[in-house]
Amino acid sequence: MLDLTMTIAGKPEVCKETFPVLNPANGQVIGHAPECTSDLLDAAVTNAHEAREPWLADPSARSSVLLDIAARLESNLEEFAALITDEQGKPLHEAKDELGGAVGDLRYYAGLSLPLDTVSDTDDLIVQVLRQPMGSVAAITPWNFPLGTAMSKLAPALAAGCTVVLKPSPYTPLSSLRFGELVRDALPPGVLNVVSGNDSLGSLMTSHPLVRMISFTGSVATGKKIAATAAADLKRVLLELGGNDPAIVLDDADVDAVADGVFANAFANCGQICVAIKRVYAPRALYGQLVDALADRARAARLGDGRAPGTDIGPLCNLAQRDRIEELVTDALGSGVRVVAGGSLTDGSGYFYEPTVLAGLKGDERIVVEEQFGPALPVIQYSDVEQAIAQANDSHYGLGASVWTADPERGRTLAPRVESGTVWVNTHQSGIPGQPFGGLKWSGIGVEGGSWGMLAYTELQAIHTNRMDQRTVSAQIGR
């Protein structure tokens, strides 16, 4: 049983109140997390605020700290992978991939520095544009990639010279609390604080007067509430919200290759990925074949405890999410929609739901229009590609999308017509360190990733210096 501490001003903090954290594979309590009080939150934010100036003053120290943190996380990768699997449910190999990405983010941002642009540089005048860090940042994360998402915020924020108060999801707080314990003595006190609590703690963070920026990843509904709260104080926001990614399969595609790619990118992490493929548009000529090929892969996938060797797909992270998938599948059935594979809860404890493929959809069912965020994939038939693009774009979401074709150039030509922050051709979800990632429409505001991801934690400052002799200046203005 894990009883972990929060990190505030570089010290451990516990609270009288705690809340239980469950293993979604069996519903058992695996640990407790402190329920942060408003006084302790205030201490965390105040310390982050006060730690800003010395942290900003030394970019090379920031870089060394990020490298140190990366090394500590990497040396403890097995422990953290097991913890993520236990609190979140994903198979151990996926937890290790998540941590590999987190370590990569820390190292990538350790190597970046803030740009200094010179707009004019003459004998009389120099105008330069600096990037100033926002200050103290409230970083609020969801439950699907507990440490991956935390590092995608901490790494660029700390590299840019900001200080951070991190609040993980109440479903998956343990890995972030443990991370705070691991790196506590690597940072100056107050630079990184880790607190835990329920949604109301998030609200307290976003309305705290000393928080200058909110970096949030989570649902659209919460993102809108945060934007409204932030507006009252004109706090800056970075919002990475939900997605309903379409995969558009073109009529020249190789069905087996597409089925492999689409299945992997729809069902990884049990479908609980913002940029998972969440709806597939297939041409009439390939529709039946593609549905069958996806269903074969769904039936072959091994569902189980993420700790068990050979598990392909774990449980959903929490009961509410499993109930939502069941509700959306049930809602879609009955009007010509059929379950081709899966479609049921599994027996026993744990929040399992069979990998499910649905066919015969018109495209207006809730499971197509809403973000399902789980292991149920609707496949919709189209008759011409213009119709497929129109249906893909007919959404409030705009996070990711993909085009699947034997002709990558044809895909690349179509890609800009799809309204999403990233469009992949013959893949989905892939990224390299220098690539930005963010959503259009309801999927978010701002980007993470690459140099843009660090600039997101800064504001422009222009320094305009008149180099002329002061008497010459007076003469010019007529005195």
Binding site for ligand NAD (CB under 6 A): 140-144, 149, 167, 169-170, 199, 202-203, 206, 217-219, 222, 225-226, 240-243, 274, 371, 373, 399, 439, 444
Cβ distance to ligand NAD smaller for residue 141 or 405:
141
Position closest to ligand NAD via CB = 202
Cβ distance to ligand NAD smaller for residue 206 or 420:
206
With contact defined as beta carbons under 8 Å apart, do 346 and 355 qualify?
A: no
Least distance to ligand NAD, CB of residue 41, Å: 12
Cβ distance to ligand NAD smaller for residue 277 or 337:
277
With contact defined as beta carbons under 8 Å apart, do 23 and 186 qualify?
A: no
Least distance to ligand NAD, CB of residue 206, Å: 5
Least distance to ligand NAD, CB of residue 82, Å: 21
The active-site residue, picked from 240, 354, 371, 448, is 240
Query: Can you tell me the distance from the alpha carbon of 392 to that of 468, in angstroms, rounded to the nearest whole number?
Result: 58
Cβ distance to ligand NAD smaller for residue 93 or 225:
225
Taking the CA atoms of the chain, what radius of gyration do you get in angstroms? 24
Cβ distance to ligand NAD smaller for residue 128 or 203:
203
Distance, C-alpha 67 to centroid of its chain: 22
Give the HSE-up count for residue 250: Cα atoms under 13 Å, Cβ half-sphere. Answer: 19
| 3-state secondary structure string across the chain | CEECCEEECCEEECCCCEEEEECCCCCCEEEEEECCCHHHHHHHHHHHHHCHHHHHHCHHHHHHHHHHHHHHHHHCHHHHHHHHHHHHCCCHHHHHHHHHHHHHHHHHHHCCCCCCEEEEECCCEEEEEEEEECCEEEEECCCCCHHHHHHHHHHHHHHCCCEEEEECCCCCCHHHHHHHHHHHHHCCCCCEEECCCCHHHHHHHHCCCCCCEEEEECCHHHHHHHHHHHHHHCCEEEEECCCCEEEEECCCCCHHHHHHHHHHHHHHHHHCCCCCEEEEEEEHHHHHHHHHHHHHHHHHCCECCCCCCCCCECCCCCHHHHHHHHHHHHHHCCCCCEEEECCCECCCCCCCECCEEEEEECCCCHHHHCCCCCCEEEEEEECCHHHHHHHHHCCCCCCEEEEECCCHHHHHHHHHHCCCCEEEECCCCCCCCCCCEECCHHHEECEECHHHHHHCCEEEEEEEEECCCHHHHHHHCCC
The active-site residue, picked from 274, 354, 371, 419, is 274
Active site residue 162: no
Cβ distance to ligand NAD smaller for residue 124 or 233:
233
Least distance to ligand NAD, CB of residue 354, Å: 21
- What b/e readout covers 122-133, taking b as 16+ CB neighbours within 10 angstroms? eeeeeeeeebeb
Least distance to ligand NAD, CB of residue 101, Å: 12
Least distance to ligand NAD, CB of residue 285, Å: 32
Cβ distance to ligand NAD smaller for residue 76 or 203:
203
Active site residue 240: yes
Least distance to ligand NAD, CB of residue 220, Å: 6
Least distance to ligand NAD, CB of residue 151, Å: 13
CA 392 to each of CA 166, 204, 403, 435: distance values in angstroms, whole numbers, following the listed order? 35, 37, 11, 23
Cβ distance to ligand NAD smaller for residue 19 or 50:
19
Least distance to ligand NAD, CB of residue 223, Å: 7
Residue in the structure block whose two tokens are 């970046």: 112
Cβ distance to ligand NAD smaller for residue 5 or 206:
206
Q: Which residues are catalytic?
A: 240, 274
